[in-house]
Structure 1
Amino acid sequence: MQLSKKTFQGYREYPEKVLQFGEGNFLRCFVDWMFHELNKKADFNGSVVAVQPIDKGMVNLLNEQDGLYTLYLRGLKDGKPESTHETIDVISRGINPYEDFSGYLQTAENPDMRYIISNTTEAGIAYDENDVPTATPPNSYPAKLTVWLNHRYTTFAGDQSKGVHIIPCELIEKNADNLKRIILQLAAKWNLGEGFVNWLNTACTFSNTLVDRIVPGYPRERIAEITEELGYEDKQVVEGEHFHLWVIEAPEELQKELPFPSIGLDVLYVKDVTPYKSRKVRILNGAHTALVPVAYLYGIDTVRESVEHPVVGKFIKEAIFDEIIPTLDLPKAELEKFAGEVIERFSNPYIKHLLMSIALNSFPKFETRVLPSILEYKKRTGGIPQKLAFSLAATIAFYKGKRGEEAIALNDDAAVLVQLKGAWAKYDGDDESLEDVVREVLSFERNWKMDLNKVEGLTEAVTKHLINIEKNGMQKAIETV
């Protein structure tokens, strides 16, 4: 028996109010779940139409189940493992504009349609010079949306009340600002007229966002167990962690229409998402990147094992609380609460997060996620954050390519690998040559965007730690910090 509205007794139909570009795991586990909660707790009375943004997608599978799917939320809650599941019934249908372009445009004629959501990957919000307004559909997401918006503008003769709130979830800087810029660029190129542009600027809103929830996706390894537990087949099961955070630069009108915070969801309506993005990148992503080489060279393979280890766990927690948090500008209590949640998320017993899966492109990741904390710490205190410097030394040691007798499968930009191989070629076994290795790596401006040897005290600190790691091994070296 497959999940469908015939087999799900609680099935309800709602007016279609949300047009969503993307039908994948993240949106269904994050945004759609939130609208589902609004229906249950705030009488939102709305459903989502999921648009397949590329030629190959999953709307057919979604439609086979009448938009229904089971959501599992699994992880630590108040320090204890908890797994819950629920049938989500907020998606009314899916549309493939490559097969049904007229049906796609017809959604613009619906007076109830009010919200545009998207998650088309980081590459989705991009200008394609080959897009034309007569294509059915145009290639890029911004072009598809421009055609849809213009059709709505024309259908309702520029009625201001038929504007929409556009809320992209793509993980790029200023996602909504970039999307609007491209739409205006297309409007000018396609000669859509001043009236349309004015309507876009006055009747529609564009909200920059930051999204945060770990979504492993379809639980292939345990689907037989899930099917037995549910008593029905669900080809669209999705799993995620309990933690969720959506930060939205929202106008007051949108805050009133979508009262997510009032029903207990972690949605923050703010004037600027920038400090929250810095918080996530520095604490969550930065901790991941700083942790990987230290824990892996220690002999550990997963994130959970690392944070629960008495030595490595202490190292990364102190790096976060003593060296990263002091470089950020949000209230300390708020930063420490977020950091505590990050540690709990890293300890999720339901997610096996391999360190080597995070190790991909470690050097560019270190530059964007950890280096800003080192430089800001230096600026604010005059000193070098020793744990983060130790992590940089460990990263250099990691790129020597050996864990004991085991070869490490290094995976990075070719230029980085060449640079590190050349640096390690200078090592002849003595301390002076290790300093040469460090100076060579820190001078790699293509990665660091600067010569890090010019940061007073950094070369000396990294060299000291690298000598310690190389001579004594990670397990003894980490005790010094």
Structure 2
Amino acid sequence: MQLSKTVIASIKEDPALSVPSAAQLELPEKVLQFGTGVLLRGLPDYFIDKANKQQIFNGRVVVVKSTDTGGADAFETQNGLYTICVRGLEDGKQVNEYIVNSAISRVLSAKSQWQQILEVAQSPQLEVVISNTTELGIVMSDDKITDQPPASFPGKLLAVLYERFKAFNGSRESGLVIIPTELIIDNGRQLKDIILKLAAQNQLEQAFISWLNEANHFCSSLVDRIVPGKLAGEDLEQTQQQLGYTDELMIMSEVFRLWAIEAADPRVAEVLSFAKTDAGVVIAPDIEKFRELKLRLLNGTHTLSCALAYLCGFETVKEAMADKTFDTFVTQLSKAELARAVAGARISYEEACKFADAVIERFKNPFLDHKWLSISFAYTSKMLMRNVPLIKKYYESGEGSAAAAIALGFAAYLLFMKSEQEGTVYMGSANGKQYVINDDKAAVLAQKWKAAANPEALVTAVLADTGLWNEDLNQIPGFAGAVTQQLQFLTQSGANAALQNIIKE
């Protein structure tokens, strides 16, 4: 049987499976969501469904799709229901949980059902707008709000807000909490700026502009959860057999979840009552520390581990973390080194270590096949953005001599980037296998390797290139020497020996 409202009562009981009550399927529509992607379904909609099951938020989601294709039929057939398979590690224990999510009430196509979407804007129950339209979704355009529909997401949102303003005569109580989750810094502020510009461009009245500013809350937010999406063939078959139903919309997510929402007004917390049911939702006046923790300790650890793991012969993150020596390296890198550099006035060392522990547990997730070569995409720019600020801070603090794992991670990056041009691509080689280097600086690094007489010359030349780092990294006290020492060890003895040597230190 296929998952739908009519079969809920027939689903066999399973302690690992959570299903909605009949009452949850009739809750009012309180959220308008732009996007049907797996991140939204695996994070915001996960929190909303969890709160509904505890009778806290008591509201469902109307989803807006940009087109008439791509799964709306499955949502209709299944009455918006879908299964989230939550898999991973939490507090050292394996989690394998299944949730029938009933947060979505219906999916509307902006292309063919625009008037119905505008009717949702007129609903007294509507309180929240959520979006994930990719980073390219929050852009300025020439949209007219009279278009059916406007082409861009900000254009659609402006039309929705204007419709609501007219329906409620600009009452302050009719304002909405608007939370973009697109992966850009200050996404709420940027979205609001574009909405205001579009309003002026459309020559909308001053009363509406005032209502936008005074009655609505545009909240920047940060999302962090790996949601790979659909289950693969045999896994899907086995899971559906275990649960006793088929589900075209079934997705998998890791256990870890974070939705940090920036807001100081108590009205926002009041509206977003689902935050009460899960510590993964954080509402705070400033969410910068969560961005810093994610960027430095999750992304930064990935970046400084990536090349070394691949050179050691590991294909995936979970494979590397199953190796005790590499696990020890990642722990040393993230907790003994990066966490110390992250700690400061805003983030305590204890907070940084706690986040690092969660990162390590996420890396060990046996259900995720996260490939190191995928992580190496745009390697140089990631190293610049994620790690160079921490490297500078750590070494300039006088503790550089203790940053052996950072130095080895950077040296491994240099060796990983050693390549030969083959046609239009640059190919590296490790453990008897070739790999494609997907980095816009591949040609620069390849040329420096060819020109360098020895590891010391290579390190000096790379660190001095302001085109790569926007500054001369040779000026960081002790860093060039430490990287050179590790690169010499890597080239002479190999990655596994260099890894063992670091652990001994």
The match for 1:387 among 401, 405, 410 is 405
Q: TM-score, structure 2 length as denominator?
A: 0.90
> How far apart, CA to CA, are the structure 2 residues paired with 1:85 and 1:372?
40
1:243-283 deviation digits (Å, cap 9, x = unpaired): 11111112211212323443243211211111110111100
Percentage of matched positions with identical amino acids: 36
**Which residue of the other structure, out of 118, 121, 140, is the alignment partner of 1:105?**
118
SS at match of 1:134: coil
Specify the alignment match of 1:163 in structure 2: 175
Tell me how far 1:162 sits from its aligned partner. Answer: 0.5
Kept in 1, the 8 Å contact 2:302–2:375? The answer is yes
* Pick aligned residue for 2:365 from 339, 345, 348: 348
Question: Which residue pairs with 1:418 in the alignment?
Answer: 443
Superposition map of 1:297-336 within 5 A: 297-328=311-342, 329=344, 330-336=347-353
Q: 2:128 aligns with which of 91, 115, 139?
A: 115
* CA-CA distance at 1:67 after TM superposition: 0.5
Give, in angstroms, the shift of residue 54 of structure 1.
Answer: 5.2
Counterpart in the other structure of 2:16? none
Shift of 1:475: 1.5
2:210 corresponds in structure 1 to 198
Deviates more, 1:451-460 or 1:245-254: 451-460
Q: Which shows bigger deviation, 254-263 or 186-195? A: 254-263
Matches within 5 A, 1:160-239: 160-221=172-233, 222-239=235-252
SS in 1 for 2:223: strand
Q: Are 1:367 and 2:367 an aligned pair?
A: no
Equivalent runs, 1:233-248 vs 2, <5 Å: 233-248=246-261
**Structure 1: how far apart are the matches of 2:412 and 2:69?**
42
Match of 2:489 among 459, 463, 468: 468
Q: 1:457 aligns with which of 459, 464, 478?
A: 478
* Maintained 8 Å contact 1:50/1:59: no
Q: 2:107 aligns with which of 90, 94, 107?
A: 94
Give the equivalent residue in structure 1 for 2:500: 479
| Matched position secondary structure for 1:7 | helix
Distance 2:320 2:431 in 1: 18
CA drift at 1:355: 1.1
**One-letter code aligned to 2:149:** P
Q: Which residue of structure 2 lines up, in the alignment, with residue 295 of structure 1?
A: 309
Q: Deviations over 1:300-340 (max 9, x none)?
A: 11111222322221111101111111122312222211111
370-379 vs 205-214, which moves further: 370-379
* Residues 132-161 of structure 1: CA deviation (Å, up to 9, x unaligned): 222211121111101110111112111111
Aligned letter for 2:386?
Answer: R
* 1:272 is aligned to 2:286: yes
In 2, the alpha carbon distance for the partners of 1:412 and 1:397 equals 14
The reply on whether 1:409 has 2:426 as its aligned counterpart is no
Instruction: Return the offset for 1:56.
Output: 4.6
Contact residue 42 and residue 263 of structure 1 kept, 8 A: no
CA RMSD of aligned residues (A): 1.6
Q: 1:212 & 1:315 partners in 2: Cα distance? A: 24
TM normalised by structure 1 equals 0.95
| Matched-pair contact (CA < 8 Å) for 1:51–1:59 | no
Aligned AA for 2:4?
A: S
Distance 1:193 1:462 in 2: 61
**Of residues 32, 36, 47 in structure 1, which corresponds to 2:49?**
36
Q: Measure the CA separation in 2 of the matches of 1:54 and 1:480.
A: 55
In the alignment, the residues of structure 1 paired with residue 255 and residue 497 of structure 2 have an alpha-carbon distance, to the nearest angstrom, of: 36
Structure 1 distance, partners of 2:184, 2:67, is 19
Kindly report which structure 2 residues correspond to 1:255-266, keeping only aligned pairs within 5 A, or say none: 255-266=269-280
Are 1:338 and 2:363 matched, yes or no?
no
In the alignment, which of 374, 377, 381 is matched to residue 357 of structure 1?
A: 374
Shift of 1:55: 6.2
SS at match of 2:185: coil
What is the distance in 2 between the residues matched to 1:138 and 1:396? 47
Q: CA deviation at 1:290?
A: 0.8
1:299/1:336 CA distance change after superposition, 3 Å: same
Shift in CA distance, 345/382, structure 1 to aligned 2, threshold 3 Å: closer
Other-structure match for 2:421: none
Contact 1:18/1:49, CA 8 A, preserved across alignment: yes
Aligned letter for 1:398? Answer: F
**Corresponding residue for 2:138?**
125
Amino acid at match of 1:473: G
Query: Quick one: structure 1 residues 300 and 52, their matched pair in 2 at CA, closer, same or farther if it must change by over 3 Å?
Result: same
Contact 1:325 1:335 in 2 (8 A): yes
- CA distance in structure 2 between the aligned counterparts of 1:264 and 1:418, rounded to whole angstroms: 47
**Amino acid corresponding to residue 43 of structure 1 in structure 2:** I
Moved more, 34-43 or 279-288: 34-43
User: Are positions 1:149 and 2:166 aligned together?
Assistant: no
Are the counterparts in 2 of residues 286 and 370 from structure 1 also a CA contact under 8 Å? Answer: yes
Q: Give the Cα–Cα distance (whole angstroms) in 2 for the partners of residues 475 and 38 of structure 1.
A: 47
